[in-house]
Amino acid sequence: MVDAALAAELTALVARASAAILAIAPGGMATRLKADHTPVTAADEAADRVIAQGLARILPGVAVVSEESRDAGAALGETFALVDPLDGTKEFVAGRGEYTVNLALVTGGEPIAGFIAAPALGLVYRGIVGRGAERLGLDPASAPLAIRCRRAPADGLVAAVSRSHLDPDSEAFLARLAVRQRITSGSALKLCRIAEGVADVYPRLSPTSEWDTAAGHAIVAAAGGAVTTPSGMPLRYGRAGEDFKIPGFVAWGDPTRSVAQD
């Protein structure tokens, strides 16, 4: 059970990781490529250290799978944490504010709680499945605002699309829908846009990593939406044998639109 006290601690943790990122100026920072050809910076690593130390104190014994420090051989257990300490490194390096800190708790393969900080925007999104979702400021004294997905509007959908990873299959998917507007951004902010009722659909039909998706998945579900596989099936997490990759997903603000797509 993720109670109010634990939610507050995890919110404060992603806020501290945000502070670690903001303390590092992107302009003068060296960027290197990892073995999978994705970029990493000192800001990614600083945020990862903050979260790893915090989770060891807050949730001792719970396995942590992080983009930057995962142990592929570690046993996950029934409950584990998924972390992307800086989602949207390309946007961060480019000086755009479209990057996030992602933290999710997963139980039985399903994300049950998600925490997403947007350091450059001064915001935190959080959601506990079955108990609702909220948006608040990075300042611990800020008052939370309840957020909710919206029903699909009759005059056409607003689609959230990736700035850096919009693939042909996702384009084809959107072409089959009545989309009247696109909102382009990086990182897990697209899932936050679904959760706060600004966007209606976000397809990512190419493979991605669990730590990119799980926190936003939990927040969307807590806000009344749905995140499924491209075929409309439940999206499961903890694919250690597949290096924590998922084949893609579709996020819907209105779960009645979550149906199998050919």
pLDDT bucket at 94, cuts 50 / 70 / 90 = confident
Does residue 50 carry a pLDDT above 50?
Answer: yes
| Same domain, yes or no: 161 and 141 | no
* Within-domain flag for 152: no
Query: CATH no. for residue 104?
Result: 3.30.540.10
Mean pLDDT on 152-178: 92
Question: What is the model's pLDDT at position 261?
Answer: 46
Mean pLDDT on 107-136: 97
Mean pLDDT lowest among 21-30, 38-47, 137-146, 159-168: 21-30
Cβ proximity of 158 and 179 under 8 Å: yes
- Select from 147, 169, 203 the last residue of a domain: 147
Range of the domain at 178: 157-257
pTM: 0.94
Determine the longest span between alpha carbons in the chain, in angstroms. Answer: 50
Count up the domains in the chain and report the number. 2
| Same domain, yes or no: 127 and 240 | no
- Select from 103, 119, 147 the last residue of a domain: 147
Distance of CA 146 to the CA centre of its chain: 18
Mean pLDDT lowest among 3-7, 20-24, 33-37, 92-96: 33-37
| Same domain, yes or no: 166 and 142 | no
| Same domain, yes or no: 120 and 34 | yes
> What is the residue-averaged pLDDT of the chain?
91
- Select from 147, 166, 186 the last residue of a domain: 147
Mean pLDDT on 19-33: 75
Angle at alpha carbon of residue 143, lines to 215 and 5, rounded to 5°: 60
pLDDT bucket at 36, cuts 50 / 70 / 90 = low
First to last CA, the chain: 37
Q: Which residues contact 204 (CB under 8 A, 6 or more apart)?
A: 162, 165, 167, 170, 213, 248, 249, 250
Using alpha carbons, select from 104, 138, 142 the residue that is nearest to residue 118.
138
For the segment 197-234, what is each residue's pLDDT rounded down to a tens digit?
999 999 999 999 999 999 999 999 999 999 999 989 99
* Within-domain flag for 232: yes
Q: List beta partners, residue 249.
A: 204
Mean pLDDT on 14-25: 92
Query: CATH no. for residue 161?
Result: 3.40.190.80
* Within-domain flag for 136: yes
| Token digits of residue 208 | 């991605």
Q: What are the Cα distances from residue 70, in Å, to 6, 65, 132, 193, 209?
A: 23, 5, 29, 28, 12
Cβ proximity of 219 and 191 under 8 Å: yes
Question: Would you call 242 exposed, middle or buried from its count of C-beta atoms within 10 A (0-12, 13-18, 19+)?
Answer: exposed
Does residue 260 carry a pLDDT above 50?
Answer: no
Residue 259 burial (CB count, 10 A): 11
| Same domain, yes or no: 166 and 126 | no
| Same domain, yes or no: 32 and 89 | yes
| Same domain, yes or no: 21 and 140 | yes
Cβ proximity of 14 and 103 under 8 Å: yes
| Same domain, yes or no: 44 and 167 | no
Q: Which residues contact 45 (CB under 8 A, 6 or more apart)?
A: 68, 85
* Within-domain flag for 262: no
Question: Given CA atoms 95, 28, 120, 117 in this order, what sign does their dihedral have?
Answer: positive
Using alpha carbons, select from 249, 157, 165 the residue that is nearest to residue 198.
157
| Same domain, yes or no: 165 and 125 | no
| Same domain, yes or no: 120 and 33 | yes
Does residue 249 carry a pLDDT above 90?
Answer: yes
* Within-domain flag for 129: yes
